[in-house]
Amino acid sequence: MSAQSILQFKKTLENLDACMAKAEAFATAKKFDVNVLTQYRLAPDMFNLVKQVQSCCDSAKFAAAYLSGQTPPKHEDNEATFAELRARIQKVIDYLNGFKAADFAGYEAVKVSPNWAKGKWLPGDEYLEALAIPNFYFHVMTTYAILRHAGVDVGKMDYLGAINLKD
Amino acid sequence: MSAQSILQFKKTLENLDACMAKAEAFATAKKFDVNVLTQYRLAPDMFNLVKQVQSCCDSAKFAAAYLSGQTPPKHEDNEATFAELRARIQKVIDYLNGFKAADFAGYEAVKVSPNWAKGKWLPGDEYLEALAIPNFYFHVMTTYAILRHAGVDVGKMDYLGAINLKD
């Protein structure tokens, strides 16, 4: 299950990147600099789009690292443009591509102790369900909502991606 | 894992209901009718708040029913006020409370065939990861984003709820 969640994070980041590409096309059609959108927020006391994208990247990266007992790669949070944000997304997709299901064997019982928890911890399964998954979708969906509200032509299927129905 | 996901849906609906209560308090403080917000959207071609709340309720309800092989209860989608939407959320919370972990035994292999799939299907684990979870958070987060954008004082911790860190 953990491996499936990580695969789903990867798919969702690919879908988010496609939404970012749609924003670039929208900006070109409307003749504005797409990087204007990096400073957009839905409310003044909310993270801007840059920080939303960085946060969903981190949420996926840390989940994969913590649940497999690895040390996550460091990313500097210095992106300022759409091109840099899309490169950041790609870096995390590449990182997630390096995992295989066996890396997450026994993830349920791993003690996950993020820096901000100051020594406290959650068992892996609880961390995944109560924190990693909802936190990931929080930042993905806020990014999506900012783009949607700004007029970019994205819909739920862009976010969900292809659903592989069987006959 | 499926049972944990359903529990997390229940917790998230409780958190969403608390956000709705914050919206009511905001409306009272600002002296407007909270039901004005039922028609809010982030974009004109997006579902309004009523339909967002109905959709996250349905997403949680159908996931629990499909993955346990039960027939979901019918809800009429006739809510028009905050009070009615909060009652709808409560109905689904009550429904989810009726499940125990054993109800989801073998969920991975259940053939899930929603009405819109017209006879096609997904295995339970793929349905949960690729559809139920992201679709649920899509509508929860869009509801949250509408309230946040309208000025309601909600933050990520309202959405995540209490995180039960261990010493």
Q: pLDDT (tens digit, 9 = 90+) per residue, A117-139?
A: 999 999 999 999 999 999 999 99
| CA-to-CA separations, B113 to A52, B69, B124, B131, in angstroms, rounded | 34, 11, 10, 12
CA distance B44 to chain A (A): 9
At residue A2, the pLDDT reads: 78
Contacts of A134 in chain B (CB under 8 A): 8, 12, 137, 159-160
CB of A10 closer than 8 Å to CB of A72: no
| CA-to-CA separations, A145 to A23, A155, B46, B153, B161, in angstroms, rounded | 12, 10, 11, 18, 21
At residue A25, the pLDDT reads: 98
More reliable by pLDDT, A157 or B115: A157
When pLDDT is cut at 50, 70 and 90, the band that residue A115 belongs to is: confident
Q: Which residues of A touch B (CB under 8 A)?
A: 1, 4-5, 7-8, 11-12, 42-43, 46, 117, 120-123, 125-126, 129-131, 133-135, 137-138, 141-142, 145, 148-149, 151, 156, 159-160, 163-167
At residue A12, the pLDDT reads: 98
Mean pLDDT, consecutive 10-residue stretches, chain B (167 aa), reads 89 98 98 98 98 98 96 96 98 97 94 93 96 97 98 97 95
What ipTM is given for this predicted complex? 0.96
